């Protein structure tokens, strides 16, 4: 079997897929990739199922190699990336050969990058998924020396790129009403809508805390609300009045009131917002939210049509050697790509 | 709830009747197995209904849920079938459970009385939630309606028994908590690799059987001891 060998990993590097469903009643939240769109983009670049697992990297990349030739794709927050000493294009697919170190550094924009493999990471299925769920204690962050199996690759194309809209610099998040929105006085909702926030750098896979507004948004009766089901995207106002956006690994129930929910289509932008960027909110009606989400779902379904061969000039071709421009000059074993 | 889930709520605050209603309503939904429903989950007094196709079917499913709600008196529903009574060895207080004194004080009793009451009461799993396999347990006598602490305890270990608002929670994972850490067990309520990953079910009953610290430490050290010395028998 083909394997991924991890040499170095940032603290936020984990195996992720689209998460586990069907366990809410047992208190296990879906988990899975923070930026679900990035998982779909990787699947489209490699021409494979979005159910396959990839490596998620929050804030810092990994250094790794593979034991056999493997197609890879890079999506999400663009990061510094080298295969050996060659720079690779982000939001693109490549061939990685054994013996070549893939070094992924810090994000150049955004927060969370993804490294996908043809055939996907095939760590054992636990409760129907491969995703590391740190809160639940399923799996653990990647560490030097980890060797992970890579599945059978059914595709073949590489050198493809996928242009994506910028979701890596903050901006406006669209909100829709939640079950407790009406509990918040109009004045408080207006102040929330007018607020400018920035992500707390201490945010994790459970929640994104929003800093930046001096005055809190707490309800006086906030602490007496009975614990109810909660879901990723919900914007809770915690006891100290700070809004937090619940993310993939949130708990399944919570007693803090929810002022709104982030439109699922805008969650990738929320998780990708770097600590220095700003977030503001717009409120949609339920109907507007349905229409907006439908449009986003359509755009996601149309991703395969946006795939294009990487534009190449000799200076930027990372996989020049593969083309055997000078036949006989290489064995094909020297480098990846 | 968002675009892809509906919430059926039976009360604004916790009491027994809406809790039983939520469990029975959820059990009925599981039986009906509607094609539009991806999964259902009971919470303390509500049921979350997650939809397969997001918002597309929410109006239709919402109407059918309303009709089902009106079809009978859910507040009068019996407890679920297949309930077990668990007896879980527990050390109350001491270095493994340092919140005992403050809980007893908040309730206005001495620690010996607290331990006696807690070890005689048979609590019910009201819901599983927050963390995987983690039970909310109640209802304790009125004197145990003590508030959360004003500050969080940064970390209690797996198997910690914590108390507030006439309930216990038995933590399935290490966690911060605002509740008081009154007991420690070696019981694992989430066992990811095991055939039965989630041993407890809503409706199950639990007695916490007092034991000493050495016993709990031996149980904690046992690599095969996910039951933490617990015994279970069928009761309903």
Q: Is the confidence at residue B44, as pLDDT, over 80?
A: yes
Q: What gap in Å lies between CA B42 and CA B26, rounded to an integer?
A: 6
Residues B119 and B149 in one domain: yes
Percent of chain B residues past pLDDT 70, beyond the cut: 100
For residue B151, give the chain A residue with the closest CA.
Answer: A239
Q: Which of A18, A23, A181, A253 to mutate to test the interface with B (most CBs of B within 10 A)?
A: A253
Provide, as residue numbers in chain A, all residues whose Cβ is less than 8 Å from the Cβ of B2: 176, 178, 231, 233-234, 261, 264
- Quick check: A248 and A233 in contact, CB under 8 A? no
| pLDDT at A227 (0 to 100) | 84
Residues B105 and B154 in one domain: yes
Beta bridge partners of A160: A309
Q: Is the confidence at residue B144, as pLDDT, over 90?
A: yes
For residue B54, give the chain A residue with the closest CA.
Answer: A290
CATH of the domain at B169: 2.40.100.10
Distances (CA, A) of A22 to A86, B65, B184: 43, 20, 30
Question: What mean pLDDT is reported for chain B?
Answer: 94
Band of pLDDT at residue B148, cut at 50, 70 and 90: confident
Cβ neighbourhood burial of B129 (10 Å; 0-12, 13-18, 19+): buried
CA-nearest of A80, A74, A69, A81 to A54 is A74
pTM greater than 0.95 (yes/no):
no
**The CATH number of the domain covering residues in A171-299:** 2.40.100.10
Q: Residues B84-112: pLDDT tens digits?
A: 999 999 999 999 999 999 999 999 999 99
Which of these three, B32, B51, B76, is where a domain ends?
Answer: B76
Its ipTM equals 0.92
Provide, as residue numbers in chain B, all residues whose Cβ is less than 8 Å from the Cβ of A294: 55
Residues B71 and B101 in one domain: no
Residues B138 and B221 in one domain: yes
**Which DSSP category does A123 fall into?**
P
Q: What gap in Å lies between CA A38 and CA B122, rounded to an integer?
A: 49
Q: Where in chain A is the domain with CATH 2.40.100.10?
A: 171-299
Residues B117 and B230 in one domain: yes
CATH of the domain at B49: 3.30.1360.40
| pLDDT at B226 (0 to 100) | 83
Provide, as residue numbers in chain A, all residues whose Cβ is less than 8 Å from the Cβ of B46: 228-229
Length of chain A: 337
Which of these three, B52, B76, B100, is where a domain ends?
Answer: B76
Cα three-residue angle A161-A164-A166, rounded to 5 degrees:
140
- Quick check: A92 and A161 in contact, CB under 8 A? yes
CB contact (8 A) between residue A27 and residue B134:
yes
Least confident range of A199-213, B139-153, B165-179: B139-153
Q: Which of B132, B150, B173, B203 to mutate to test the interface with A (most CBs of A within 10 A)?
A: B132
**Which DSSP category does A310 fall into?**
P
Which residues, numbered 146 to 165 in chain B, qualify as contacts with chain A under a Cβ-Cβ cut-off of 8 Å?
A: 148
Band of pLDDT at residue B38, cut at 50, 70 and 90: very high
Residues B154 and B221 in one domain: yes
Residue predicted with more confidence, A270 or B153: A270
Side by side, which strands form the sheet with A307-309? A13-16, A54-58, A112-117, A70-76, A92-96, A160-162, A307-309
| pLDDT at A330 (0 to 100) | 35
- For chain A, residues with pLDDT lower than 70 are 221-224, 312-337
Q: What gap in Å lies between CA B99 and CA B118, rounded to an integer?
A: 14
- The C-alpha of B125 sits at a distance from chain A's nearest C-alpha, in angstroms, of 12
Terminal alpha carbon distance of chain B: 34
Residues B88 and B67 in one domain: no
Residues B70 and B92 in one domain: no
Which of these three, B17, B43, B76, is where a domain ends?
Answer: B76
The tally of domains found in chain B comes to 2
Residues B51 and B155 in one domain: no
CB contact (8 A) between residue B41 and residue A234:
no
Asked if A24 reaches chain B (Cβ–Cβ under 8 Å), the answer is yes
Q: What gap in Å lies between CA A321 and CA A336, rounded to an integer?
A: 9
Domain range for residue B44?
Answer: 5-76
Residues B69 and B95 in one domain: no
Least confident range of A54-58, A196-200, B13-17, B139-143: B13-17
CB contact (8 A) between residue B198 and residue A233:
no
The residues, ordered by sequence, that sit 6+ positions from A284 with a Cβ below 8 Å of its Cβ are A174, A175, A176, A263, A292
């Amino acid at each position: 079997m083909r394997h991924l060998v991890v040499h170095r990993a940032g603290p936020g590097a984990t195996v992720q897929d689209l998460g586990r469903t069907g366990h809410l009643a047992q208190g296990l939240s879906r988990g899975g990739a923070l930026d679900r769109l990035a998982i779909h983009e990787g699947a489209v670049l490699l021409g494979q199922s979005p159910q396959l697992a990839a490596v998620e990297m929050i804030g810092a990349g990994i250094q790794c190699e593979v034991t056999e030739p493997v197609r890879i794709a890079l999506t999400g927050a663009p990061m510094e990336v080298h295969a050996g000493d060659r720079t690779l294009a982000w939001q693109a697919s490549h061939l990685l050969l054994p013996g070549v170190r893939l070094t992924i550094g810090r994000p150049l924009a955004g927060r969370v990058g993804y490294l996908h493999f043809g055939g996907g990471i095939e760590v054992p299925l636990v409760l129907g998924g491969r995703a590391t769920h740190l809160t639940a204690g399923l799996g653990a962050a990647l560490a030097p020396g980890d060797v992970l199996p890579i599945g059978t690759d059914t595709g073949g194309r590489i050198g493809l790129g996928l242009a994506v809209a910028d979701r890596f610099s903050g901006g406006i998040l669209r909100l829709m009403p939640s079950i407790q929105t009406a509990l918040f006085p109009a004045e408080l909702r207006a102040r929330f809508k007018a607020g400018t926030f920035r992500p707390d750098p201490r945010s994790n896979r459970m929640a994104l805390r929003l800093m930046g507004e001096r005055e809190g948004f707490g309800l006086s009766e906030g602490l007496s609300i009975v614990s109810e089901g909660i879901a990723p995207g919900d914007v809770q106002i915690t006891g100290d009045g700070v809004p937090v956006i619940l993310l993939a690994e949130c708990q399944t129930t919570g007693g803090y009131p929810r002022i709104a929910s982030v439109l699922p289509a805008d969650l990738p932008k929320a998780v990708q917002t770097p600590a220095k960027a700003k977030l503001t909110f717009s409120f949609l009606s339920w109907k507007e939210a349905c229409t907006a989400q439908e449009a986003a779902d359509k755009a996601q379904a149309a991703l395969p049509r946006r795939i294009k061969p990487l534009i190449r000039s000799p200076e930027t071709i990372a996989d020049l050697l593969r083309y055997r421009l000078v036949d006989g000059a290489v064995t094909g074993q020297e480098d990846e790509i | 709830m968002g675009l892809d889930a509906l919430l059926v709520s039976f009360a604004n605050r916790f009491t027994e009747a809406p809790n039983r209603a939520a469990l029975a309503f959820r059990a009925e939904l599981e039986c009906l197995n509607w094609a539009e429903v991806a999964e259902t989950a009971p919470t303390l007094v509500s049921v979350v209904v997650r939809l397969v196709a997001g918002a597309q079917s929410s109006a239709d499913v919402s109407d059918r849920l309303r009709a089902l709600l009106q079809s009978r008196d859910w507040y009068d529903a019996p407890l679920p079938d297949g309930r077990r009574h668990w007896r879980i060895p527990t050390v109350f207080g001491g270095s493994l459970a340092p919140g005992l004194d403050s809980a007893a004080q908040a309730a206005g009793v001495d620690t010996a009385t607290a331990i006696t009451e807690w070890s005689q009461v048979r609590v019910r799993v009201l819901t599983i939630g927050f963390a995987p396999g983690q039970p909310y347990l109640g209802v304790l006598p009125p004197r145990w309606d003590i508030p959360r602490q004003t500050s969080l305890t940064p970390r209690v270990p797996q198997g910690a028994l914590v108390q507030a608002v006439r309930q216990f929670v038995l933590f399935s994972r290490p966690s911060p908590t605002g509740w008081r850490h009154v007991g420690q067990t070696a019981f694992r309520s989430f066992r990811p690799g095991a055939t039965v990953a989630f041993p407890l079910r809503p409706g199950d009953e639990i007695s916490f059987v007092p034991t000493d610290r050495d016993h709990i430490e031996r149980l904690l050290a046992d690599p095969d001891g996910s039951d933490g010395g617990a015994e279970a028998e069928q009761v309903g």
